[in-house]
Amino acid sequence: MAAVLPADHIAIRPAVGTRLMAGPPPTAGFERIDDHQLRLGPRPAGGAALIDVLEQSGLRGRGGAWFPTWRKWASVANSSDGHSVVVVNASEGEPLSAKDRTLVTLRPHLVLDGAVLAAETLGANDIVVYLSRGSRTTERALEQALKERSAAGLHEAPIRVVRTAHRYIAGESSAVVNRGSGGLSKPRFSLRRSAEKGINDQPTLIQNAETLAHVAMIARYGSAWFRRLGTDGSPGTALMTVCGNVLRPGVYEVDLGAQLGGVIEAAGGTVSPAPGALLGGYFGTWLDPSWLEGLPLDVDRLRTTYKTSFGCGVLAVLPQGACGVVEATRVLTYLAAESAGQCGPCVNGLGALSDAMERVAASEATFTDINQVRRWMEMVKGRGACHHPDGAVGQLASALTVFNDHLRRHLNGQRCYGTTVAGFPQPPSPGRGWQ
Amino acid sequence: MTEKVQRRLRVNPILCNGYGYCAEIVPELVSLDDWGFPIVSNRPIDDDKLLGLARRAVATCPRLALLIEETVPATTNR
């Protein structure tokens, strides 16, 4: 099975809202510091007032958890006694996502401006850009951007790059702390948050690259400007990686006030009638085909009304004839293999679930097996040092609900013709190493 | 207003190897999953006898994977 990763340099097609991706077209490569400063003006200074502006803006973290950004900053500020660390999390372990890589490749100075603003606001003297190995274009753009900044003589805290193997959970906050402190990018167990005790035991702000780019825009244009797009609870724009059964897969910047149908339309529409989609990446949720048109992007409505999550902004649309049960099983098997192997419930639970689901996908299982699957899903929930088992199980649970009718055919031993349909990205081979 | 400390038994799942002594010592708080790893109850430990058993489980764990977490719950009506 070929591993289909998003291309290193992916086409940007501005969709419903264009802010982070405004400026020169993607073909122009990364935006130089002179052009960046000419287009957006110089970076304003950071400071305590910026936390208030962020609160008014309603900005929430774009890494997947959608936690209010200002709160994270405030808790690092509270824990800090003059030393703290700011991390730009651009590791993007999610195989279907390309938005952070794309953003750092094309607008490195926007992301770095956000990081420097955070450092100035929190009094951080260490800025880390956390990057997965394997994306040469991104590394080159970042290296070039850092050279430009030091040549321009900007007064800012030193910025260092920390690399990690491209693993699914390498971007989890405690794994970031481990790696940033010189260890492996595996999660650790701690009763204290990274905001209190993170890299080298210092209070650490770990913020997704896209979030920091939004910060750089909000610091320039203000919270009212930011709120002009999006909804009350989910203001602004967000980057989405759209793939699978769409005419033009790619990274799109969307207005969070829009609907999913608008996103699919921006990507050229579906190629064949879609039997469903995965929203939010491998820790996300499967969507019923009837939702693809009108589903809101507001993260609170997604969670409360639809029990789904925007996650890291991946939308992977199933092609006609493809089987959601089969695809969900492939994702589960990949995630089981991507376990750091540290916690019993994750190693045993995801392993057993993946074995059982492979029998279900092959129509070799019975209703007893699926009852066992449901029992195990409950059993592993919340029992890892990180949320890896929870994410894996959440994805599976949504597939079993959304594709319930089709699941019955599998359990009745009927052959499924959806196992070999092309057009849906397959999980890559599990990564190697943790450095 | 008195601030009451809440105690909960917690397991560090990275250290735990599934010896299972904890489930024998304090079954009120620990059961085992299908693979012999502890499922630890999240309920606060509210009596001294239970606390004593929990402390024994902590002391007995060959991997030192158990701990008693102490938290002061946020005041409810503010």
> Do residues A59 and A218 lie in contact, with contact meaning Cβ atoms separated by under 8 Å?
yes
pLDDT value of residue B72: 87
**Identity at A227, one-letter amino acid code:** R
Query: Are A383 and B13 an interchain contact pair (Cβ–Cβ within 8 Å)?
Result: yes
Fold of the CATH domain A324-411: de novo design (two linked rop proteins) (1.20.1440)
> Do residues A94 and A53 lie in contact, with contact meaning Cβ atoms separated by under 8 Å?
no
For chain B, list residues whose CB is within 8 angstroms of any CB belonging to chain A. 10, 12-18, 33-37, 39, 69
Domains of chain B are 7-66 (3.30.70.20)
pLDDT digits (tens, 9 = 90+) for A127-152: 999 999 988 999 999 999 999 999 99
> Do residues A362 and A354 lie in contact, with contact meaning Cβ atoms separated by under 8 Å?
no
Q: Which residue of chain A is at minimal alpha-carbon distance from B33?
A: A379
Does the pLDDT value for residue B77 go beyond 60?
Answer: no
Alpha-carbon gap, residue A50 to A57, rounded angstroms: 10
**Identity at A393, one-letter amino acid code:** V
* Cβ-Cβ contacts under 8 Å for A282 (sequence gap 6 or more): A94, A95, A96, A168, A331, A334, A335, A391, A392, A395, A427
Q: Which residue of chain B is at minimal alpha-carbon distance from A186?
A: B14
Exposed / middle / buried, residue A230 (Cβ in 10 Å: 0-12, 13-18, 19+): buried
Across the range A195-207, mean pLDDT stands at: 97
Give the mutation candidate from B7, B22, B33, B66 for the A interface (greatest A CB count, under 10 A). Answer: B33
Which residues from chain A sit within 8 angstroms of residue B63, using beta carbons?
none
Does the pLDDT value for residue A314 go beyond 90?
Answer: yes
pLDDT digits (tens, 9 = 90+) for A251-287: 999 999 999 999 999 999 999 999 999 999 999 999 9
Distance from CA of A87 to the nearest CA of B (A): 25
Alpha-carbon gap, residue A254 to A247, rounded angstroms: 17
Query: Are B14 and A385 an interchain contact pair (Cβ–Cβ within 8 Å)?
Result: yes
> Do residues A304 and A333 lie in contact, with contact meaning Cβ atoms separated by under 8 Å?
no
Query: Are A189 and B35 an interchain contact pair (Cβ–Cβ within 8 Å)?
Result: no
Residue with tokens 């951080």: A124
Does the pLDDT value for residue A411 go beyond 50?
Answer: yes
Mean pLDDT of all residues belonging to chain A: 94
Q: Which residue of chain A is at minimal alpha-carbon distance from B69?
A: A191
Alpha-carbon gap, residue B36 to A27, rounded angstroms: 55
Instruction: Give the 3-state secondary structure of residue A163.
Output: strand
Domain A26-226 bears CATH identifier 3.40.50.11540? yes
Q: Which residue of chain A is at minimal alpha-carbon distance from B66?
A: A189
Query: Are A345 and B15 an interchain contact pair (Cβ–Cβ within 8 Å)?
Result: no
Report the candidate in A264, A253, A268 with the shortest Cα–Cα distance to residue A287.
A264
Query: Are B37 and A345 an interchain contact pair (Cβ–Cβ within 8 Å)?
Result: yes
Query: Are B13 and A344 an interchain contact pair (Cβ–Cβ within 8 Å)?
Result: yes
Report the candidate in A224, A215, A301, A312 with the shortest Cα–Cα distance to residue A257.
A301
For chain A, list residues whose CB is within 8 angstroms of any CB belonging to chain B. 187-189, 191, 342-346, 348-349, 352, 376, 379-380, 383-385
CA angle A294, A391, A418 (to 5 degrees): 65
For chains A and B, count residue pairs whose Cβ atoms are closer than 8 Å.
Answer: 47
Q: Where in chain A is the domain with CATH 1.20.1440.230?
A: 324-411
pTM of the model: 0.94
> Do residues B35 and A383 lie in contact, with contact meaning Cβ atoms separated by under 8 Å?
no
ipTM of the complex: 0.92
Does the pLDDT value for residue B11 go beyond 80?
Answer: yes
Query: Are A379 and B34 an interchain contact pair (Cβ–Cβ within 8 Å)?
Result: yes
